[in-house]
Amino acid sequence: MTQDRPIENLQAILSEEDLRSLELIKLLREIRPLDLAPLLLHFDPEDKAKIFDHLDSDSAAEVLFETDPRSRDEILEHARLDKLAPLFDRMPPDEAADIVTSLPPERRDPLLRLSPLLADHVRPLLAYDSETAGGKMTTEYVSVGENETAGGAMRAIQGSIGAETVNYIFVVNGEHRLRGVLSIRELIASRPDAPIQEIMVSDVISAPPEMDQEDVAGLVQKYNLAALPIVRQDGRLLGIVTVDDVIDVIQSEASEDMYHLAGTSPDRPTTQKFHRQVLDRFRFLLITLAGGLAIVLVQAQYGHALESMMAIVFFIPAIIGMAGNVGIQASTIMVRGVATGEIQPGRFGSVLRREVLVGATLGILFGFICGALAAWGSSLLGADSDLGYAVGLGMVSGLTVASLMGAVVPLACEKLGLDPALAAGPFVTTLNDLTALTLYLAIALTILKPEVG
């Protein structure tokens, strides 16, 4: 079914001067749309448009949604609106809404005029931020009235094959307020004349449309749900968020945290435009640079004092590097723990105490190791053997403080409603570098009292 070298085969046809459309159509039919979507990266914008033009409507819709953001933007930019509109009608409305909301209003509005069906489905979703429950939900689900029977519910399912393949039926009252839920499996096991209210579960887990997508994912994961009903404050059922959307949320939230911790932007970096990528990383590196220059100034402050004992200076990168790394360990543990729910707000205090203890233990261990090595090597470096005390104490204090700050900053951000990962990356590292340097130099100059030249 799937071809061996789809990219090469497509490129061969596309590179011909007179495009053999029938061949191209035939070739494309042999590739699953979900396999084709990631391959578009390898083609230039014009070839992407050609490929897209030759897909049947179902495949085109799937490829458009599943491909990388850059390819999608290029297709949406170059495709004719009257060709795009019918595609949207064939897509699940939450996916169509995701794409339509990403368009600038001058392209979005004519599209919604061309497709009244799309407009009906998409308008309610456009009201919510795309990273909330309302933005992620689909309005395609199966619901039945609370006074229905099992047999009636069965007929309702048979009439709604178009809905997403979620195997729950939601029970609503006359005002469309959510009253209960039952799985198709439970339905099949019931007598056809059983009242719905007897077989449904009425203790339903639901979420408001304003809930952040990360919390939605947490609920779905915690309760192993296949779909989470989204319910307005007055109890009306608005839509459902399905587990496949939740997987995407979990992946992208994890990516975002990782990219922020590393100091880069979370926007699929390898398919981003070149200048955006450089700019995004540049911004974060400016923080690191500011820290580095501050370190130059702090050292210059002690200039002459240091000249008479260079060995003090030689250990600065080692102490800064260790403090930075201990801080990143602590920050990553906090950021990830908060994201996965391992660290609940009630545990902040105990987690912090523990982290400080771990940091201090590591500080003492490495303080001993480094102090001993520095003392042993001091004659080689032309320094007093007291250098060992300075390096050792610098390590202890630097690592303990770095571990504390690495843990406190993300937890404080979380409490204040800020993104813990964004603050925890280069910012905390820079802070830790400077603190460790200042502590070490203060200790070293006190212990070693170098002659001021």
Site for its own copies in 208-237 (CB under 8 A): 220-224, 226
Q: Which is nearer to its own copies, 20 or 222 (CB)?
A: 222
Range list of β-strands (E), 146-209:
168-172, 178-183
Q: Residue 451 — φ and ψ, nearest 5°? A: -70, 135
Distance, in Å, from the CA atom of 210 to the CA atom of 334, rounded to the nearest integer, reads: 26
Number of residues interacting with its own copies: please give it, by CB under 8 A.
Answer: 115
Which of positions 26-65 make contact with its own copies (CB under 8 A)? 34, 38, 41-42
User: With helix as H, strand as E and coil as C, how does 76-142 read?
Assistant: HHHCCHHHHHHHHHHCCHHHHHHHHHHCCHHHHHHHHHHCHHHHHHHHHHHCCCCCEHHHHCECCCE
Rounded to a whole number of angstroms, the distance between the first and last alpha carbons of the chain is 80
Instruction: Count CB atoms within 10 A of the CB of residue 153.
Output: 25
Q: Which is nearer to its own copies, 126 or 183 (CB)?
A: 183
Structure-block tokens of residue 299: 């050292």
Of 15-23, 70-78, 130-138, 349-357, which part binds its own copies (CB under 8 A)? 349-357
Which of positions 60-119 make contact with its own copies (CB under 8 A)? 68
Which residue among 24, 172, 322, 404 contacts its own copies (CB under 8 A)? 322
Cβ neighbours for 416, distance < 8 A, ≥ 6 positions apart = none
Which of positions 116-175 make contact with its own copies (CB under 8 A)? 154, 157-158, 161, 165, 167
Cβ 81 to its own copies shortest distance, Å: 27
Which of positions 257-316 make contact with its own copies (CB under 8 A)? 257-259, 261-264, 268-271, 274, 277-278, 281-282, 284-285, 288-289, 291-293, 295-296, 299-300, 303, 306-307, 310-311, 313-316
Q: Which is nearer to its own copies, 117 or 286 (CB)?
A: 286
Q: Which residues pair with 292 in a beta bridge?
A: none
Q: Which is nearer to its own copies, 19 or 318 (CB)?
A: 318
Q: Which is nearer to its own copies, 152 or 292 (CB)?
A: 292
CB-count burial class (<10 Å; 0-12, 13-18, 19+) for 84:
buried
Which residue among 10, 87, 240, 437 contacts its own copies (CB under 8 A)? 437
Handedness of CA 253, 118, 271, 60 (dihedral sign): positive
Which residue among 23, 215, 244, 386 contacts its own copies (CB under 8 A)? 244
Which of positions 403-432 make contact with its own copies (CB under 8 A)? 426, 429-430
Note whether 245 and 227 are within 8 A (CB). Answer: no
Q: Which is nearer to its own copies, 116 or 303 (CB)?
A: 303
Question: What b/e string do you get for 103-112 counting C-beta neighbours within 10 Å, with b at 16 or more?
Answer: beeeebeebb
What are the CA-CA distances from residue 272 to residues 46, 65, 264 (Å)?
A: 18, 17, 12
Which residue among 234, 346, 416, 451 contacts its own copies (CB under 8 A)? 346
Which of positions 356-385 make contact with its own copies (CB under 8 A)? 357-358, 361-362, 365-366, 369-370, 373, 377, 380-382
Q: Which is nearer to its own copies, 19 or 258 (CB)?
A: 258
Of 80-88, 99-107, 109-117, 326-334, which part binds its own copies (CB under 8 A)? 326-334
Cβ 342 to its own copies shortest distance, Å: 6
Q: Report if residue 438 touches its own copies, rule: CB under 8 A.
A: no
Cβ 407 to its own copies shortest distance, Å: 10
Structure-block tokens of residue 266: 């979370």
